[in-house]
Amino acid sequence: MSDAYTPPDTPLEILHADHEVLVVVKPHGLLSVPGKGPHLADCLITRIQAAYPEALLVHRLDRDTSGVMVFALTPHAQRHLGLQFEKRQVKKTYVARVWGEVAEKTGLIDLPLIVDWPNRPRQMVDHENGKPAQTEWRVQRRAEGETRLRLFPKTGRSHQLRVHCLAIGHPILGDPFYAEGPAHDFPRLMLHSESLRFRHPDGGRGMNFTAKPDF
């Protein structure tokens, strides 16, 4: 996988838009927000703001991760959604293809994480100084030396799913930071935000949005 930033030239995929929120599908290989320097200016929020100038960031997905994201269209919505993320009230489901055949059917990974400073943006498990991080997982299927997992993060640490899968011996396929050897040699990171469930900022009704992965 090349380190050069070559974001995909794909049209916006909008799942929902109303007076408060916008829900889209982020393609893999596209930053959520601008990086440092003009070569990293192209990103999802910039593309969205071309069509919705009032759009505001609520959360992020890694550049290499695809899937469902919600943006606010008013400051009120940004505060309301931001609090839901902060209080862990947003339900997130991911799909991942990982290296090796996972033996158990379900599990909980409870390993604290901290940034690996000399190797930023990598993260690592640190039982003394790390911040709490929990991920529930469930096997969807196993075949030919790999496993398809559904992942349910309880916390939202940077690279949490990627480091947690690595920590149990099953790195996510195509991960440029954490996979090695044959597990590294895939055209993309096999991690996708499949669904988001949150309360609408205007009235509080529950909303759930889903987008299937392309892998």
Same domain, 86 and 100: no
| Averaged pLDDT, 167-184 | 98
Whether residue 8 is contained in a domain is answered as no
Q: Which domain holds residue 55?
A: 13-90+198-207
**Residue 173 clears pLDDT 90, i.e. is over it:** yes
| Averaged pLDDT, 178-191 | 97
Question: pLDDT category, 1, cuts 50, 70, 90?
Answer: very low
Same domain, 46 and 108: no
Tens-digit pLDDT profile for residues 9-31: 999 999 999 999 999 999 999 99
Whether residue 30 is contained in a domain is answered as yes
Whether residue 23 is contained in a domain is answered as yes
**Residue 32 clears pLDDT 80, i.e. is over it:** yes
**Residue 141 clears pLDDT 50, i.e. is over it:** yes
Same domain, 68 and 101: no
| Averaged pLDDT, 202-208 | 97
Whether residue 214 is contained in a domain is answered as no
Strand partners, 44: none
How far apart are alpha carbons 110 and 167 in whole angstroms? 10
Whether residue 61 is contained in a domain is answered as yes
Tens-digit pLDDT profile for residues 63-78: 999 999 999 999 999 9
Residues contacting residue 94 through CB under 8 Å, at least 6 positions apart = 67, 150, 151, 152, 153, 161, 191, 192, 193, 194
Whether residue 142 is contained in a domain is answered as yes
| Averaged pLDDT, 179-202 | 98
Pick the catalytic residue from 9, 18, 62, 214.
62
Q: What is the CATH number of the domain that holds 182?
A: 3.30.2350.10
Count the domains in the chain: 2
**Can 62 be counted among the known catalytic residues?**
yes
Whether residue 79 is contained in a domain is answered as yes
Whether residue 7 is contained in a domain is answered as no
